[in-house]
Structures are given as C-alpha cells and as structure tokens.
Amino acid sequence: MLKIALPNKGRLSDEVRELFNDAGLEVRVRGERALTASLGGEFEAIFVRAQDIPEFVADGAAHAGVTGWDLVNESGRELELLMDLEFGRCRLVVAAREESGITSADGVKDGMRVASCFPRLTQEFFTKRGQQIVVVPVSGAAEIAPHLGIADIVVDLTSTGSTLKMNGLREVVTVLESSARLVACKNNDAEAARKLEELKQALGSVLAARGKRYLMANVPRKVLPQVRDVLPGLNGPTVVDIMNGGDYVAVHAVVPSKTIYRTINALKAIGCEGILVTRIERLMP
Ligand code: AMP
C-alpha cells in the first residue's frame, strides 16, 4: 500500500480531496475523524496537519504527501518535488505597519523584531541579505504582533493582501512564492516510485484538463482555413464529415477555457453553427 499524507483540515484540504476525487482516487473516509482513508487501488491517505506533512514524508511514514511549498521549505527537510498542483497559491512576504516608513527590505534595520510562523525562512532571508534581525516565533495571527508592540515587522502568508491591509500592514518584499505541491520521500524504493509516477500522471491529467474545454462546431467547408487559425487545438482541429451535412463539416478541438467567449464569437463571425462546448475530465497530451 502506498501511503499519501494529505492535510486533515485548513485551506488546502478541500481542494486536495477534490483533485484526488477528480483523478479517480476517491477519498473514502470511514468517519469525520478518521485518520486514514482508502484512495482505492494501491493508495491510502493519512490525514495530518499540513505543517507536519514534510516531516512525515521525509521520515518515510508516508511515501508522498501534499502540502504548501512554504511549509516544505520551512521544515528544512530534503524531499523530492514531484509536481506543482497549482492551487493554494500564496506568497510569504515581509510586511510592516503603514506608518512605519518601511517600504523596502533595506528599510529593515538591524535589531528589529520580526514575528513569523516561519522562523526558519525568516532568519534565512535576512541572514542572506546580511541583516541581523531578531525572530519572534508565533504559531498564528502574526499580523497582530506589530500592533501589540511584540515585533516591528512580520513575515506572513498572503494571497490577495487584504488581511494584511485590514490590519494596517504594507507588503514590503516577497520571501517565497508558494502553492500546493506533491512531494515524495527521497528513500522510496523503485516500486513506490513507479506507483507515484502513475499518481502524478493521474493528477496531472486532471490539472491539464481544468483550463481547457472541448469545442465542437459545424463549419462551412469553405471557411476551414480560417477555422485553423481560430482553433489550433492540440494537433490542429479534428475535421469530421456530417451525414447529409451538405457544405458543412464538424470540427472538434481542445481550446483554452479562459478565451472561450472570444473563440465562439470568432467562429460565429465566419459562419459556424451548432457550437457545443463541454468540460474535459482528463487530458493526456
Ligand atoms: P492553513 O490551513 O491556514 O494552515 O494553511 C495551510 C497552507 O495553505 C499554507 O501553508 C499555505 O501553503 C496555503 N495558503 C494558501 N493561501 C493562503 C493564505 N492566503 N494564507 C495562508 N495560507 C495560505
């Protein structure tokens, strides 16, 4: 059985489960508080705190795990990065009080106190810059520290910046860009590595499909050259004859979902009809 450590709660847990479910690794929990769950086939999930996942995986208690890149780096443990899962995007940033006058990393003076849930990364960041600060380790709500006089600045996670702003803090510089990652133990045997490669492909095919749609349209044969420009597809669009279709053929293509409205309008403008767009479950180019 291949053990995969997944976040038991918090920001990442729902999206991780959704991704695994979409990839056909349905998380079958036996109860709300279950610590493990079958993922079907040869995979088993172990639910732990996102912060503990790097340790679990590095120690070999799980073959692989999904957690934030920020937490992997903070752990300082050596792990194999298998893939970026593209959600849970956030930045670890240095932030200072609006009225502090600190607008860049150079504004941080030696001896300043820096509150953070990421003491290791904070220390490393300033040491590399040759700045001697004092780290104040906290286990949450670092943004309150400057207002309580516990610290001058903070190193905290943010995605939209709104929580920092709400707390009167200004983002000064980015320490690390983060997102959810699939990481593996460095000591996995060849059999585990092979199964993890299958897992990677299953998750990757779902992620690749998320930003794409499958589009079908009936196209006047004479505008086919123009359709090629509008619908490049993976290998150029597929063209299919329509029974009793007259001057029309059917064209199928995989297109980016972000620009789908533009694509539809462009197809209509050159006389295409019967346009149909569907979601794609998996994509393996
Ligand atoms: P939490 O559930 O708050 O313990 O956060 C777990 C992980 O979610 C963090 O370590 C980050 O990798 C990620 N995350 C994504 N967006 C944010 C955000 N805006 N603030 C904090 N963590 C975030």
Indicate which CATH number applies to the domain containing 219: 3.30.70.120
Domain housing 169: 90-178
Whether residues 199 and 73 fall in one domain = yes
Whether residues 168 and 224 fall in one domain = no
Convert the pLDDT of each residue in 8-65 to its tens digit.
Answer: 999 999 999 999 999 999 988 877 777 988 898 899 999 999 999 999 999 999 999 9
Q: What single DSSP character describes residue 267?
A: H
113 alpha carbon – ligand 1 mean position (Å) = 23
Convert the pLDDT of each residue in 94-119 to its tens digit.
Answer: 999 999 999 999 999 999 999 999 99
Token reading at 239: 């063209």
Whether residues 94 and 172 fall in one domain = yes
Whether residues 81 and 8 fall in one domain = yes
Nearest to 281 by CA among 213, 223, 200, 187: 213
Whether residues 152 and 188 fall in one domain = no
**Residue 285: inside a domain, yes or no?**
no
- In whole angstroms, give the CA distance from residue 125 to residue 22: 38
Determine the average pLDDT of the residues in 128-155.
94
Mean pLDDT taken over the chain: 94
Whether residues 94 and 173 fall in one domain = yes
Determine the average pLDDT of the residues in 75-99.
97
What is the per-residue pLDDT for 202? 95
- Ligand 1: atom nearest CA of 11 is 2
Whether residues 83 and 18 fall in one domain = yes
Q: What single DSSP character describes residue 238?
A: E
67 alpha carbon – ligand 1 mean position (Å) = 9
196 alpha carbon – ligand 1 mean position (Å) = 25
Q: Is 88 in the pocket of ligand 1 (CB under 6 A)?
A: yes
Share of the chain above pLDDT 70, in %: 99
What is the per-residue pLDDT for 233? 64
**Residue 192: inside a domain, yes or no?**
yes
Q: How many domains does the chain have?
A: 3
> pLDDT at residue 234 above 70?
no
CATH number for the domain that contains residue 17? 3.40.190.10
Q: Is 11 in the pocket of ligand 1 (CB under 6 A)?
A: yes
> pLDDT at residue 235 above 90?
no
Model's pTM, two decimal places? 0.90
> pLDDT at residue 76 above 70?
yes
Q: Is 92 in the pocket of ligand 1 (CB under 6 A)?
A: no
Whether residues 174 and 95 fall in one domain = yes
Residue whose Cα lies nearest atom 17 of ligand 1: it is 90
Token reading at 175: 């320490």
